[in-house]
Amino acid sequence: MYLNNIIETIGNTPLVKLNRVTDGIKGTVLVKVEYFNPGNSVKDRMAVKMIDDAEKAGLLKPGGTIIEGTSGNTGMGLALTAIARGYKCIFTMSDKQSKEKQDILKAVGAEVIVCPTNVPADDPRSYYSIARKLNAEIENSYYPNQYDNLSNAQAHYETTGPEIWAQTEGKITHFAAGVGTGGTICGTGKYLKEQNPAVVSVGLDTYGSVFKKYKETGIFDEDEIYSYKTEGIGEDILPKNVDFDLIDLFIKVTDKDAALMTRRLAKEEGLFVGWSCGSAVFGALEYAREHLKEDDTMVIILPDHGTRYLGKIYNDEWMREQGWL
């Protein structure tokens, strides 16, 4: 019994009950542990789907180069897919992302270009702009653009949603996920709400991001934008994959609360997960404490693995430098 390549191991990740950090909460809280994917993150799902769809549409041809702006995890999924299918990869990444993520991408053969974080998205130096420029310059290149490419949310509609519905035997009442491109929450949420429109979808956002205010007021408020440290969630743009009708509410979580909850997940639940997992659990439990009833079942997505953050939130010295320990 064997698989043809590592890409075929994507998906069917386990759903695990939280037992300690949920102290005092009514109902059942389950987490979907996405680090079981081969690239150790939820983004493997959409990476392979974006490539499949691009091949079908004739946008990506044999020997081509995939160019993407990524916080690291999408890059990993794309790099693994590229190896299986014979493509080259160039990734642009902002300099706030962990060094581990850059090194991991290089280890699987990708070229990585680090760009400044503290410039607007439309600045020619931003990682969005550099990716676009390279795509225009390099022949036979394809820019998936995970923000606006709807294959992203579709991957979760086809895989993450049905998996959760089956794993909870349709008992899920609340779904929570951090929002970056919006692919995970909107694709999964769309499927779950189609099965049961009463499923509540909670989006976790960061301070320094535009989502929560936009959902509540319809205003894209530039004053909401400032730099923050949590990686992978929150945006200074409105990606096409975010369908605000599929997200019932947003909760913002601070960098510090997220970091401390991530460390608790490792120590108290044995879940050695990434920083945005702490954001997701901290915010979701804040909601659960107030709203979850005895018979309710909440599922929270844990997007990636702790190894990517060893130099930051799992490093006591770094934590003390932030004033968080």
Q: How far is CA 238 from CA 42, 128, 143, 188, 211, in A?
A: 20, 13, 18, 19, 8
Taking the C-alpha atoms of residue 35 and residue 305, their distance in angstroms, rounded to an integer, is 5
Dist CA 317 CA 257 (whole Å): 17
Report in angstroms how near the CB of residue 303 gets to ligand PMP at its nearest: 4
* Contact stretch for ligand PMP (CB under 6 A) within 5-13, 92-100, 163-171, 181-189: 181-189
Q: Are strands 15-17 and 28-33 parallel, antiparallel or unpaired?
A: antiparallel
Asked if 306 touches ligand PMP (CB under 6 A), the answer is no
Q: If residue 252 lies in a helix (H) or strand (E), which one and from where to where?
A: strand 249-253
**Is residue 94 a contact point for ligand PMP (CB under 6 A)?**
no
Please count the residues of this chain forming the interface with ligand PMP, following the rule CB under 6 A.
Answer: 17
Pairing of strands 200-206, 88-94: unpaired
Q: Which stretch binds ligand PMP (CB under 6 A): 5-13, 21-29, 226-234, 253-261?
A: 226-234
**Under the criterion CB under 6 A, does residue 231 sit at the interface with ligand PMP?**
yes
Judged by CB under 6 A, does residue 178 bind ligand PMP?
yes
Cα–Cα dist 205/184, whole Å:
13
Q: What are phi and psi of 310, to 5 degrees?
A: -60, -35
In the list 32, 43, 49, 193, the residue contacting ligand PMP (rule: CB under 6 A) is: 43
Euclidean distance between CA atoms 70 and 65, whole angstroms: 15
Q: Which two tokens stand for residue 272?
A: 């050695």
Q: Exactly one of 43, 193, 252, 312 is catalytic; name it.
A: 43
CA distance 106 to 115: 16
What's the closest the beta carbon of residue 24 comes to ligand PMP, in angstroms?
A: 26
Min separation Cβ 179 and ligand PMP, Å: 5
To the query of whether residue 43 is one of the catalytic residues in this protein, the response is yes
Please identify which residue in 135, 184, 206, 209 interacts with ligand PMP, judged by CB under 6 A: 184
Site for ligand PMP in 259-278 (CB under 6 A): 274, 276
Candidate segments 50-58, 60-68, 124-132, 180-188, binder of ligand PMP by CB under 6 A: 180-188
Confirm if 92 and 131 have CB atoms less than 8 A apart. Answer: yes
What residues numbered 60-89 form the site for ligand PMP, per CB under 6 A? Answer: 71, 73
Instruction: Provide the binding-site residues for ligand PMP, judged by CB under 6 A.
Output: 43, 71, 73, 178-184, 231-233, 274, 276, 303-304
**Which of the residues are catalytic?**
43
